[in-house]
Amino acid sequence: MIDGLGQVLGRAAARFGDRTALAIGERTFSFAELDRLANRMANALVGLGVAPGDRVTLYSPNCWEWLVAYYGALKAGAVINPINVMLTPEEVKFVTNDCGAKVLLAGADKGEALLAIKGDTPVRHLVLFGPAPAGAHALDDLLAGARDAFEPVAVDPLATSTIGYTSGTTGHPKGAMLTHRGVLLNSAMTANMHVRTAADSVVTALPCAHVYGNVVMNGAFLTGMTLVLMPRFDAEQALGLIERHRATMFEGVPTMFMYMLNVPALGDYDLRSLTRCTVGGQTMPVAKMEEVETRFGCPLLELWGMTEIAGLGTTHPAYGINRLGSIGIALPYVECRIADVGDAARTVPTGEVGELMVRGPIVMQGYWGNARATRETIEPDGWLHSGDLARMDEQGYIAVVDRKKDMIITAGYNVYPAEIERVVAAHPAVALVAVGSQPDALKGETAKAYVVLKAGAAADAESVLAHCRRHLAAYKVPRAVQFVPDLPKTSTGKIMRRELRRLDA
């Protein structure tokens, strides 16, 4: 039995040995080789003073080094803090300060920017995946000087394994504390629902730092699948990898599938090895899902999840009914219900719309250092508010119909208006700002800022966007700015975001 995530690679190496575990670029790694590298990573981290419970931040695109660092830190008993590679140094500084990270591992291209902020954080050691300037360690050097053997630190399955940050309605990210059991169960039960086995190989460009990509990664190593990992998504490259590796699965967000459908030479690729694909991160039009199934020749299984539940909460079983336009049914050992929006204790009748709520061992322990936000999100009896409005049918299949919160989902990334508003409001010419969404054919929706200028002040859209780019990850930056004389408000002066589209020019 596996008690902690630090045991995953060792168990996989014992079962699958020299079989291919990972293919990325032109390199391949066996299960045994990855485990040895993770052992060296664990020894190196201990040598840097990392003790059980210390936080270790990972900040890079998909690469073999990311996986080795992830499992190495977990072997050492550290708590992993995986963050989006698109975050700015300013955002990285906030997160590392909030969780108290001792070590920060990142791509070499981030080195100079991270060294500039390191002194303003609790980070003692910066480790780079490539050449390292003075003040940082090169990962290759650490691995070369470390031993191959390491016994994973014993952990309580209910201890925190991961702090995953998700943007919050306060304008600052919140760290969801996930247990070893929660992440392991989510990965294992997802694998069970999709019938993932050692006979499978999966192509994906989902970031391993994201809970969806993390479930794909951990599920692959738990079951002995070959993980064909893309550092970043490219439609033609993805199709080529499916053909080259005879992949049985492709997993991604709707935008990825839409880009692949738009490849002129799609019909020239041999995709007959695919037996099922999965899609999540945002809703996808049923017509496009039907086109994927026709062109790819396999079922497209929709799923739904969130950081606060360590990945998936619902999906379609590969061996059951696949209802396009539905997010499927609850994972095993997980409960889902539809609650009255005004009274979370009351479950609405079948077929009626309410808030989707989740309970079970995958639910987070709470938000790191934020008891108030935890109380607002998790009821005393363990039910977690998803913020999504949905309905459930007699068979337990769920359909999301709207979002209770104002979150914007851009190509699978969660974007919160309050976070953008906080940045735009700091522009010297801005008096008031509200952020809404606008539809986008490929990304689903993007952020749009509605700005009221200060009296006598002047600014154009580009100056506002340039200000945003300095302080926000690229996917959070609004794609449009509209200057307006005023914003819709309630009688108490609260801005009504849902009325913003009435202002559209």
Q: Mark whether 125 and 262 lie in a shared domain.
A: no
CA distance 132 to 257: 37
Residue 326 has pLDDT above 50, yes or no: yes
The domain spanning residue 347 has which CATH number?
Answer: 3.40.50.12780
Residue 272, in any domain of the structure: yes
**b/e sequence 392-401, b meaning 16+ C-beta within 10 Å:** beeeebbbbe
Q: Mark whether 345 and 293 lie in a shared domain.
A: yes
Q: What angle do CA 326, 332, 338 make, to 5 degrees?
A: 50
Handedness of CA 58, 60, 62, 65 (dihedral sign): negative
Q: Are 278 and 219 in contact (CB under 8 A)?
A: no
Residue 491 has pLDDT above 60, yes or no: no
Residue 292, in any domain of the structure: yes
Q: Mark whether 290 and 431 lie in a shared domain.
A: no
CA distance 42 to 406: 41
Q: Mark whether 56 and 138 lie in a shared domain.
A: yes
What per-residue confidence (pLDDT) applies to 171?
65
Return the H-helix or E-strand segment holding 83: none
What per-residue confidence (pLDDT) applies to 170?
54
Q: Are 103 and 139 in contact (CB under 8 A)?
A: no
Per-residue pLDDT averaged across 337-362, rounded?
95
The domain containing residue 437 runs over which residues? 415-503
What per-residue confidence (pLDDT) applies to 167?
63
Of 61-75, 134-148, 196-210, 423-437, the poorest mean pLDDT is in: 423-437
Residue 337 has pLDDT above 70, yes or no: yes
Residue 3, in any domain of the structure: no
Q: How many CB atoms lie within 10 A of CB 262?
A: 10
Residue 19, in any domain of the structure: no
Residue 1, in any domain of the structure: no
Residue 10, in any domain of the structure: no
What per-residue confidence (pLDDT) applies to 461?
94
How do strand 101-107 and strand 125-129 relate by DSSP bridges?
A: parallel
The domain spanning residue 448 has which CATH number?
Answer: 3.30.300.30
Q: Mark whether 314 and 379 lie in a shared domain.
A: yes
Q: Mark whether 324 and 249 lie in a shared domain.
A: yes
Q: Mark whether 395 and 423 lie in a shared domain.
A: no
C-alpha torsion angle, residues 35, 38, 42, 43 (rounded to 10):
80
Q: Among 201, 206, 311, which Cα is nearest to 251's? A: 206
Higher-confidence residue: 176 or 286? 176
pLDDT of 376-420, one tens digit each?
999 999 999 999 889 999 999 999 886 667 778 888 887 888 788
Q: Are 75 and 52 in contact (CB under 8 A)?
A: no
Please tell me the chain's helix, strand, coil percentages from 3-state DSSP, rounded to the nearest 5.
35, 30, 40
Q: Mark whether 199 and 320 lie in a shared domain.
A: yes
What per-residue confidence (pLDDT) applies to 409?
87
Residue 168 has pLDDT above 80, yes or no: no
**Average pLDDT value over all residues in the chain:** 93
Return the H-helix or E-strand segment holding 221: helix 211-223
Q: Mark whether 200 and 93 lie in a shared domain.
A: no
Residue 492 has pLDDT above 80, yes or no: no
What per-residue confidence (pLDDT) applies to 402?
67
Residue 171, in any domain of the structure: no
Q: How many structural domains comprise the chain?
A: 3
Q: Mark whether 294 and 386 lie in a shared domain.
A: yes
Residue 448 has pLDDT above 80, yes or no: yes
Residue 21, in any domain of the structure: no
Per-residue pLDDT averaged across 318-346, rounded?
94
Collapsing DSSP to helix, strand or coil, 75 comes out as: helix
**b/e sequence 14-39, b meaning 16+ C-beta within 10 Å:** eebeeebbbbbeeeebbbbbbbbbbb
User: What proportion of the chain, given as a percentage, has pLDDT over 70?
Assistant: 97
Q: What are phi and psi of 272, to 5 degrees?
A: -65, -15
**Half-sphere exposure (CA, 13 Å, Cβ side) for 204?**
32
C-alpha torsion angle, residues 475, 447, 280, 300 (rounded to 10):
-110
Q: Are 36 and 85 in contact (CB under 8 A)?
A: no
Q: Mark whether 231 and 203 lie in a shared domain.
A: yes
User: What proportion of the chain, given as a percentage, has pLDDT over 90?
Assistant: 81
CA distance 35 to 439: 44
pLDDT of 17-58, one tens digit each?
999 999 999 999 999 999 999 999 999 999 999 999 999 999
CA distance 458 to 460: 7
Query: Which of 375, 400, 425 marks a domain boundary?
Result: 400
Handedness of CA 426, 431, 435, 440 (dihedral sign): negative
Q: Mark whether 138 and 222 lie in a shared domain.
A: no
Residue 428 has pLDDT above 70, yes or no: yes
The domain spanning residue 104 has which CATH number?
Answer: 3.40.50.980
pLDDT of 269-324, one tens digit each?
999 999 999 999 877 888 889 999 999 999 999 999 999 999 999 999 999 889 99
CA distance 6 to 76: 8
